[in-house]
Amino acid sequence: MKFIETRGNDGSKPVAVSFSQAILSPLSSFGGIYAPEHIPQLAPDFLANHLDKDYKTLARDILLAFGVDLEDGLVEAALSTYDGFDDPENPVPVVQIGERLHVSELYHGPTRAFKDTALQPFGVVLSGLAQARDEHYLIMAATSGDTGPAALDTFRNKPNIKVACLYPDGGTSDVQRLQMVTEDAANLKVIGIHGNFDDAQAALKGLLGSERFCTTLVEKHTQLSAANSVNFGRIIFQLIYHLHSYLELVRQGHIELGEKVYLVVPSGNFGNALGGYYAWRMGLPVEKIVIASNANNVLTDLIHTGVYDLRQRKLIGTSSPAMDILKSSNVERVLFHLFGAERTRELMRELDEEQHYQLSG
């Protein structure tokens, strides 16, 4: 399977790349990102066949469905990071909290951020690829509080990888700030900025696109990558737990195999929700994906009205800072799968330049 660019190709990059290329260099032409050229379809008996399989086997088979170009040994090493979760046999417990209401507990990793579930294996994959190619990478991460600690933890002392992490000073919890600023590995750097998460993400995107910054890195034989969910390497490990959670509901006797479920996903950058979207498009029986917002409910408006409008909005700091995001990066991949690269490029240009776009009927 190849990965292609959400905003089309400008001639300066390959038209299609492998999974490993897409995750090593996640930014593509016209400021776009990479998405799979088609969404793999699960075999009709895939779910039934995985009822008696463990999380790692499910994960391995999903990676296989996307045709990832990773050595078996590297996949094994990546998935062995789940051994560091509270229950290695079941890294994502699914727990009943109400009548016909269950929660996927995604906080059983080393930093307690749900992002561990994807970042732990992702860190091993990225470092492994870098070593195999004898290349050095700088990961620039922007965080609203959860990505930072999880990214720093996964890359701590990993060969061939350095991390610089930008966080909005005052915009994270004290625990999260301390998780970051007390890291002392030589390959990690943490920087608090004056501004909010969108400012941190904009600074990151600006740097990643800056020629001068990139030339300096070339002189240092270092390439840039990203650990935010613009990186498809994050998304692929996120869609797994949606499938896993469904299988758990069947195993626990709450639903019949084939019965549809609602996925309710608190959303910021839309990575977790996009994982659910891919799981659904691959064949998971999903009735609806419900996007939960906080006061920064730009996605609520988009879904109800087809309008993405930042003009009257200011980012509102809330008690759920990981969702205090107005430019939700992964919506772009949904636009791409629905409308194609040309339309996505047009919409994203409108958002970047005019701060709004409107979908047609």
Ligand X SMILES: *Cc1c(COP(=O)(O)O)cnc(C)c1O
Q: Which residues bind ligand X (CB under 6 A)?
A: 113-115, 146, 229, 266-273, 322-323
Q: Smaller CB distance to ligand X: residue 225 or 269?
A: 269
β-pair partners for 286:
261
Q: What SS3 class is residue 198?
A: helix
DSSP output for 118-155: HHHHHHHHHHHHHHHTT--EEEEEE-SSSHHHHHHHHH
In whole angstroms, the minimum distance from the beta carbon of 322 to ligand X comes to: 3
Give the number of other CB atoms < 10 A from CB of residue 239. Answer: 26
In whole angstroms, the minimum distance from the beta carbon of 233 to ligand X comes to: 14
In whole angstroms, the minimum distance from the beta carbon of 215 to ligand X comes to: 31
In whole angstroms, the minimum distance from the beta carbon of 167 to ligand X comes to: 13
Q: End-to-end distance of the chain based on CA atoms, in angstroms?
A: 32
In whole angstroms, the minimum distance from the beta carbon of 272 to ligand X comes to: 4
Q: Smaller CB distance to ligand X: residue 75 or 151?
A: 151
In whole angstroms, the minimum distance from the beta carbon of 30 to ligand X comes to: 23
Catalytic residues, by residue number, are 115
Answer whether 322's CB lies under 8 Å from 144's CB: yes
Task: Give 267's contacts (C-beta < 8 A, 6+ positions apart).
Answer: 273, 291, 292, 293, 299, 323, 328
Q: What SS3 class is residue 287?
A: strand
Q: Smaller CB distance to ligand X: residue 113 or 243?
A: 113
- How far is residue 13's CA from residue 95's CA, in Å, rounded to a whole number? 45
Burial string for 38-50 (b: 16+ CB within 10 Å, else e) reads ebbebeeebbeeb
Which regions of 37-131 does DSSP assign to beta strands (E)? 94-98, 101-104
Give the helix/strand (H/E) hosting 168: strand 161-168
Answer whether 179's CB lies under 8 Å from 186's CB: no
3-state helix, strand, coil in the chain (%, to 5): 45, 15, 40
Q: Smaller CB distance to ligand X: residue 50 or 85?
A: 85
Q: Smaller CB distance to ligand X: residue 146 or 198?
A: 146
In whole angstroms, the minimum distance from the beta carbon of 43 to ligand X comes to: 28
- How far is residue 346's CA from residue 361's CA, in Å, rounded to a whole number? 16
Tokens encoding 26: 């996640």
Angle at 241 between CA 200 and CA 132, to 5 degrees: 65
